A and B are shown apart, each in its own frame.
Chain A
Amino acid sequence: GAVVSQHPSRVICKSGTSVKIECRSLDFQATTMFWYRQFPKKSLMLMATSNEGSKATYEQGVEKDKFLINHASLTLSTLTVTSAHPEDSSFYICSARRTFEGEQYFGPGTRLTVT
């Protein structure tokens, strides 16, 4: 149990376009979902926290107008990278938490390459 999926697993897009990444909790309802970014050989950096039905809370330095997060249901959160640039190329990972103090279950990640 507690499986989190992400789609797509890899995406290549052109500079200036937008790309949407989906994060789904497959067998549980996630009250909170998290989006992380990971550069090669680096650690995970929390970008934002989203609770179902409310606005996401962004970490300092993360542009909320560039990284749009929607958590419309208890099993789905989306991250849209708007007007992507090559420096947005990264590994994006989501996680989902069942209860306020529960464990975070991580998705497999999405590799975004902006050309």
Chain B
Amino acid sequence: GESVGLHLPTLSVQEGDNSIINCAYSNSASDYFIWYKQESGKGPQFIIDIRSNMDKRQGQRVTVLLNKTVKHLSLQIAATQPGDSAVYFCAEGQTGANNLFFGTGTRLTVIP
């Protein structure tokens, strides 16, 4: 399968600061990328997605950046709050294919 990895397994930030979570992928055929948030004992929750014809997409307090040249994806969370503490996964997929491949996850801890 495809390899989707994260640069940092853990990230601690002060409340109110911005967080940046990174993800590398290896399948150049992937054209759909998603960030998920998973709290302890729960299923993943969709945060934001981006297609390969875009390099940036913004949501509420979150921004995803896609650099296809270096196969890199990042999630930026503005004004990080304690409720943002969770594990964040990136996932990649291809149009027309069923599967999503998940990265290893980054645990974000927000320090009050």
Contact (A108, B98) CB under 8 Å given A43-B103, A44-B89, A103-B49: no
Q: Which of B37-45, B58-66, B70-78 faces chain A?
A: B37-45
Q: Is B100 an interface residue (CB 8 A)?
A: yes
Distance to closest chain A CB from B21 (angstroms): 14
Secondary structure of the A contact surface, majority rule: strand
* Nearest-neighbor residue (CB-CB) of A10 within chain B: B41
Contact yes or no, B98 A105, CB < 8 A: no
Q: A101 to B1, alpha carbons, bound, how many Å?
A: 20
Q: A41 to B95, alpha carbons, bound, how many Å?
A: 29
Distance to closest chain A CB from B33 (angstroms): 12
Q: Interface of B with A (CB < 8 Å)?
A: 1, 34, 36, 41-46, 49, 89, 95-96, 98-105
Q: Interface of A with B (CB < 8 Å)?
A: 4, 6, 32, 34, 41-46, 49, 57, 59, 93, 95, 100-101, 103-109, 111
